[in-house]
Structure 1
Amino acid sequence: MRAPVSKALMLATVLAVAVTLGGCGYGPGRGTASSTVAGRADLDPDASLVVATVAVSTGFDPHRERMGGERPYSFPVFDRLTRMVTGGKIEPMLAVSWETAPDAMSMRMTLREGVRFHDGTPFDAEAVRINIDRARTLPDSTVKTLLSTVDRVEVTGPLEVVFHYTAPTPDLVTVLAGPAGAVISPGALADPNRDLRVDPGDAGTGSYLVERVVPSQSVSYVRAPQSNWDPEAGKLAHLEIRFIADDRTRDSAVRAGEVDIAYVNGVVAQSVRQAQLAAQGSTLDLVERPTNVLAALWLRPDPPGRPPAA
């Protein structure tokens, strides 16, 4: 599946770019992309990274995601079965391999061995079955349409599942790189008092735990005490993601050193130009990466008061 030709821009300090792409666990790539910055700084395992983005956190439950902008907030906590890296390529995450049947009516998937959720629950085939069933049947699931052709998940071994479809589905492995493929501890799902939208707690296998939430402002994370299955993840002690909606405010924050990385609004020419100018002859660097996120406009062809088009 070819990734849409859209690009993401980030304005960052040179050091911050090297740190982020070195596997701090922020975002879906988790360090798989190489930096364009010359040289590479040694990572301080006690360091912190502050990122400014344009989306506000409205919850951490990946199966109830309200908008794509929530993913930077939930992905440091919840790993997915697969992951999409720069360029749209799908790579293993909690799944290590998969094979789609010739008729695309099923897919056999082998899972990673030795992984545990932060609450101590083992990650296994039964956990995958429980999560996929939840994601496609939860009344307020926002990912169920992405799993509409999944008929059932068959557990064929401790670390092996088979997805059975109602119609040919050759692209499910791509879907599982997003929130539909996020895996939550069955122990947490079985607790009626847990609300993952408010606090994910120890329900994930990711490299970070949520430490503090300031509603409509920021989310702070601390590196999980358990060793992570991915040696490139969780290399920094703390991560903070701040919601800064205004383009100029984000630009000012990274220039002033208040944040290490700031998202640049690629659909606003002035914002891109400002970032380009800021990166010229300074310690800031403008990083451009392909992304599968498309920018779109909703157009109303027949606004109120105008006669319908002939």
Structure 2
Amino acid sequence: MASGIPRRLGAAVAAAVVIALTLTACASAAPESSGGDGEPVTGGDLVVAARSEPPQLNPLVDQMGGAHVLTPVVDSLVWDNGDGTYGTWLATDWEVSDDARVYTFTLRDDVTFHDGTPFDAEAVKVNFDYVADPANKSTGSVAKLGPTAEVLDEYTVRITLEQPESSFLTLIAAPYFGIVSPTQLLDDPDSLASTVVGTGPFVFDEWVKGQSISYVRNDDYDWGPEGTHEGAAYLDKITYRFLPEDQTRYNALLTGEADIVDYIAPEYAEEVKADDRYESDEFLLPGVGFTLHLNTRTAPFDDVNVRRALLTGIDREAIVKSATFGAYPVQEYLATTTPDYKTDLENVIEFDADAAGALLDEAGWTGTDADGYRTKDGERLSTTVPYADNDQLAQRTLEQVQIDAKELGFELVLQPVPAADFSQRLYTGEYGIMPSFQSEATGMQLWRLYGGDNVSDGSSIGSNASFLADAELDGILAQARASADPAARADFYGQAQELLPSLAPSIPLYSRARVVAWQPNVHGVAWDYAWPQPYLFDAWKN
């Protein structure tokens, strides 16, 4: 089945997707799973071929780091159903104030952390206090919300935000806000870089740097998210093997070295989906796809005409088709599968090289040097673009962008850097263009990436990679985030999407279709919608 499919796959498939999503919404909190028939079998080891290794594991510090390999070991307060509703998990009930600033959670009273520490309201408070402390430099958006946690009784906790956030439940449903043992947070926080003590269905086992990370079953587990099976996980062990090379990961599927392969590269996607030897599922990830964020703090992107010129002067359709082998759709400022995506956009991004050239002329870049690049006052129109050196798709894409930019007379200097160093560039601003990919099932992504109050400021780390600060946009985003009415919220986020092409803080390129494939003896693979990825609590092997 397909939970989200690129729009170029055809009307018949799109209709099937609508039906599937409707059924999912009606099914309440049950995670959508794929797999075979029959009774689940207990036991067995599952090997997952993962695309990247995290630089460290602390989910409360680096939301990108371990999010894709931490779901076995941590649980969240709520489960995101992916349709705007939420299921119970570590919290059995919650209340939200009319202004979307106060969230009160009633917690389960039968949960224990892997180190034996009881799960209660105080444990939740310790987690929120840790994230809110500027000294811990949490990169998650929850930190920017200024949360204050108050214990009302042993199993009731109230979270008050400095600013309203109607998407708060989606944020805390993600694995990068999985609840960590307060004992570890208070007594040995440094250990979180290399091990995590949570309440999840699996317990941390071993991290072999450069190779793999493994987890073993938590036999005492009996608090899976609403809609999953009761009791402990079926599998004995889950091992994530880090295979950054796309072809190596694909070969791991063919040879049986891996039971599940995550992120089948676009050049192999159609072949895998058509191969009846394997099961597969595809999800067009919501949020903000692969995007080039333009650093508006520094020249030349402090000039909006230069930003608009690059936005409209590259042929996004041709670039995406070439780089992704036609597997991914071109995106506006939100993916079509994102809640609050505006379906009737009027201010869409159109390719117009002549208009782009006129904008650069207006910005004063009228000279030309010996290499054909534009100049102004003797200076070449040039900028730097760092990218993770293990990201082959990003490299292909940027090389295509570089070619189009040169046609405009704009030099893009590509800088491959180690993946661990690349993530730090986002927060230091050491770049002209920052390519990044953000997937989250909420229109609040627009605030995360373009809100003037979500910029790294020394006291906290923000996600606004373009460093954009626009009063009109900020006002619209603030109204969206404070709106408890879904229709009103969608309208405000729609206004933001109409405005963004004029501000041109970034160049959106494509939505990423996450294709996951697995061997025929693997069943019960589901999707975690809060941070879209495979969820393996219900998984089992013949």
Same fold, TM exceeding 0.5? yes
Structure 1 residue 224, shift from structure 2 partner? 1.8
Kept in 2, the 8 Å contact 1:53–1:262? The answer is: yes
Kept in 2, the 8 Å contact 1:88–1:292? The answer is: no
Structure 1 residue 138, shift from structure 2 partner? 4.7
Show the counterpart of 1:250: 249
Structure 1 residue 99, shift from structure 2 partner? 1.4
Matched, 1:162 2:162: no
Name the amino acid aligned to 2:156. Answer: E
Matched, 1:141 2:137: yes
TM-score (norm 2): 0.46
Show the counterpart of 1:211: 205
Name the amino acid aligned to 1:103. Answer: D
- 1:269-280 alignment, distance < 5 Å: 270-277=267-274, 279-280=275-276
Structure 1 residue 90, shift from structure 2 partner? 3.0
1 or 2 for the larger relative contact order (CA 8 Å, sep ≥6)?
Answer: 1
Structure 1 residue 215, shift from structure 2 partner? 0.8
Name the amino acid aligned to 1:208. Answer: F
Please point out which of 47, 50, 57 is paired with 1:50: 47
Structure 1 residue runs of 5 or longer lacking an equivalent are 8-29
Alignment partners' CA distance in 2, 1:101 and 1:181: 21
Kept in 2, the 8 Å contact 1:82–1:181? The answer is: no
Structure 1 residues 141, 292: CA separation in 2 closer, same or farther (over 3 Å shift)?
A: farther
TM-score (norm 1): 0.78
Kept in 2, the 8 Å contact 1:126–1:158? The answer is: yes
Please point out which of 222, 229, 241 is paired with 1:228: 222
Structure 1 residue 88, shift from structure 2 partner? 6.3
RMSD across aligned C-alpha pairs, in angstroms? 2.8
Structure 1 residue 50, shift from structure 2 partner? 0.8
Greater helix percent: which structure? 2
Name the amino acid aligned to 1:112. Answer: R
Computing the radius of gyration from Cα coordinates, the structure with the larger value is 2
Structure 1 residue 212, shift from structure 2 partner? 1.9
Name the amino acid aligned to 2:106. Answer: T
Structure 1 residue 168, shift from structure 2 partner? 2.0
Kept in 1, the 8 Å contact 2:63–2:176? The answer is: no
Structure 2 residue runs of 5 or longer lacking an equivalent are 7-28, 225-229, 295-309, 311-380, 384-405, 412-542
Structure 1 residues 221, 67: CA separation in 2 closer, same or farther (over 3 Å shift)?
A: same
Runs of 4 or more off by more than 6 Å in structure 1?
A: 4-7
Name the amino acid aligned to 1:47. Answer: G
Alignment partners' CA distance in 2, 1:199 and 1:180: 14
Kept in 2, the 8 Å contact 1:96–1:110? The answer is: yes
Structure 1 residue 179, shift from structure 2 partner? 4.3
Kept in 2, the 8 Å contact 1:6–1:294? The answer is: no
Alignment partners' CA distance in 2, 1:151 and 1:210: 28
Q: Percent identity?
A: 27
Classify the secondary structure of the residue corresponding to 1:264. coil
Show the counterpart of 2:33: 34
Alignment partners' CA distance in 1, 2:112 and 2:133: 25
Residues matched between the structures, number? 273
